[in-house]
Structure 1
Amino acid sequence: MGRTVTAREVAEAVHSAIPRLAWELPADILAGLEAARDAEENERGRIVLDQLVENARIARTDRVPICQDTGTVWVSLEIGPDVAVQGDVFSGVDGAVARAYDEARLRKSVVANAIFDRANTNDNTPAFTDIHPIDEPGAARLHIMLKGGGSDNASRVVMLVPGAGRAGIVDALVECVREKAANACPPLVVGIGIGATFDKVAGLAKRALMRPIDEAAPDGETAALERELLEAVNATGIGAGALGGLSTALAVRVETAPCHIAALPLAINMGCSAMRRCTVDL
């Protein structure tokens, strides 16, 4: 048996990551915004991208949130086959989130119950957690994301018929982008999950968002699909800030899985221009 991951180290990693995520864009996202600005031909789109780059600089320098919506906290623990977890490995996460949001003076956005009690919990808890076993000996890494409401509201799960195929996936994504992208603060990073089951496909889409936008899928087929989907999204011309232009999305990232012969589950998880996520090796 390899190492053991403890609740304390998970909580400490989450507490340390949250303020940095709120204040500083990941390097790949900032580079993507800068490249999009330099390539943009639409004047209004270029102005929006300029403002987004400047906003990121101010947030990093002054240590203030990139966006007023500092999101819900998603924490996913990836562990290899020889890594053990000690009891409830997430038992300290809610306390870490509450402390971090209070200390960094971040907006608290979680309500106690979606339908029966929409009172604010006043500490941005609970966080949303999961464990994801992987076939990588020695792996113990934590994915952390601050996910804004606008981008999540623009997401969807669609149970396509198998005959819809690749074209059906492209069409469903473009339809979603046309209907919802303007509310998700483009340019977007789009996570796509394909396969598994109704309840699991959304998790695939969220994990897809963790892959840096400058890292294509490792296999050629998925990488080609990512390029096709990105071209289709950007062909809408919605552009940065939904004011027109070349960059409706910076990247589309795809994760696939097996599924039932009668199904083609598809999840689309929008990520906004403030794509706040990091991966911490424990």
Structure 2
Amino acid sequence: MITKDTIKQTVYEIYKDAVINFHEDMKHSLENALKNEDNKLAILNIEAILKNIEIAEEKEIPMCQDTGLPVVFVKLGNVEVENLKEGIEEGIMKATKDVPIRPNIVDPITRENTNVNVGNLIPPIDIELIDEDYLEITILPKGFGSENNNKLKMALPAEGIDGIKDFVVETVLSAKGKPCPPTVVGVGVGGTSDMALKLGKKALMGEIGKRNPDPVLAKLEEEIIEEINKSGIGPMGLGGNTTTLDVKILKADTHTAGLPIGVCIQCWANRFSTARLYDNQ
């Protein structure tokens, strides 16, 4: 059995890792963006981001003051698990206190802070059932400077690929510098309204620079990246060649009458961490 205490400790460790350590593909994408910049202010901004990442890892402190809302993705295989929800919540509370991580979770009406990054229906836990012999937990701390600029469109099927492209580009450009670019843009197409946005959030965790295996979606990703970066919004919205580092698209089948499009924007601090647990751990 995978015990609650094991889950708690694992969640603590990956939450800490997510807010402090940056993925290598993200570092490389920022370094490449720096090489491709000729705007002096953009160069300064990217250099400051890279220095910030370096200091966070050296001092083991969160790379951004907005440590986000902890979004949890679970892949549950053929394993016996004890008190999964409690283990996840207790791990988040432990990390909030011990790292420390800024407490961000409040009641939407009274604005009273829970002070533990756990609250009513928070963290959101997405559970996918898999035919494997492990439990996989991922934490994606989602900052709200970017989350506030997400959008959903229940498009008409006739709008097709051009409609998807236009809506994603329009969404990112209308956000301008608010999501702290250079961004990563996750796009969910299909399913239901809530599913499209969830797919968009999952898409953020794809490898930066790696194209979708579906050639149609790969081409669409490339076209959207090009259109967004032609805008000149640039790092932190202050001008430059790189407004987005990548666009990642995931799709699901949908109803014959629908074309849901969910756009989930992520700031330069595209943070997440994953662990797998087995019965014998």
C-alpha distance in structure 2 between counterparts of 1:60 and 1:101, whole Å: 18
User: Is 1:118 matched with 2:114?
Assistant: no
Structure-to-structure mapping, 1:180-191, within 5 angstroms: 180-191=175-186
Q: CA deviation at 1:187?
A: 0.3
Partner of 1:93: 88
Unaligned runs of 5+ in 1: none
C-alpha distance in structure 1 between counterparts of 2:250 and 2:3, whole Å: 28
Higher mean C-alpha deviation, range 225-234 or range 245-254: 225-234
State TM-score, norm by structure 2: 0.92
Q: Report sequence identity in percent.
A: 33
SS in structure 2 at match of 1:229: helix
Structure-to-structure mapping, 1:1-282, within 5 angstroms: 6-80=3-77, 83-86=78-81, 88-111=83-106, 113-115=107-109, 117-126=110-119, 127-134=123-130, 137-138=132-133, 140-282=135-277
Q: RMSD value over aligned CA atoms?
A: 1.7
**Superposed CA offset, 1:30-73 (max 9, x none):** 11111111111222111111110011111111122211101111
SS in structure 2 at match of 1:119: coil
State TM-score, norm by structure 1: 0.91
C-alpha distance in structure 1 between counterparts of 2:135 and 2:115, whole Å: 31
Q: CA deviation at 1:105?
A: 2.0
**Equivalenced residues, count:** 274
Judge conservation of contact 1:143–1:277 (CA < 8 Å) in 2: yes
**Superposed CA offset, 1:173-201 (max 9, x none):** 12111211411000001110000001211
Quick one: which amino acid aligns to residue 280 of structure 1?
A: A
SS in structure 2 at match of 1:92: helix
Q: CA deviation at 1:133?
A: 2.5
Judge conservation of contact 1:193–1:208 (CA < 8 Å) in 2: yes
Judge conservation of contact 1:154–1:184 (CA < 8 Å) in 2: yes
Quick one: which amino acid aligns to residue 228 of structure 1?
A: E
The structure richer in strand per residue is 1
Judge conservation of contact 1:170–1:232 (CA < 8 Å) in 2: no
Q: CA deviation at 1:87?
A: 5.7
C-alpha distance in structure 2 between counterparts of 1:240 and 1:224, whole Å: 24
Q: CA deviation at 1:269?
A: 0.5
C-alpha distance in structure 2 between counterparts of 1:252 and 1:10, whole Å: 32
Q: CA deviation at 1:140?
A: 3.5
Quick one: which amino acid aligns to residue 220 of structure 1?
A: P
Quick one: which amino acid aligns to residue 114 of structure 1?
A: P
Unaligned runs of 5+ in 2: none
C-alpha distance in structure 1 between counterparts of 2:170 and 2:216, whole Å: 23
C-alpha distance in structure 1 between counterparts of 2:217 and 2:6, whole Å: 34
Higher mean C-alpha deviation, range 162-171 or range 222-231: 222-231
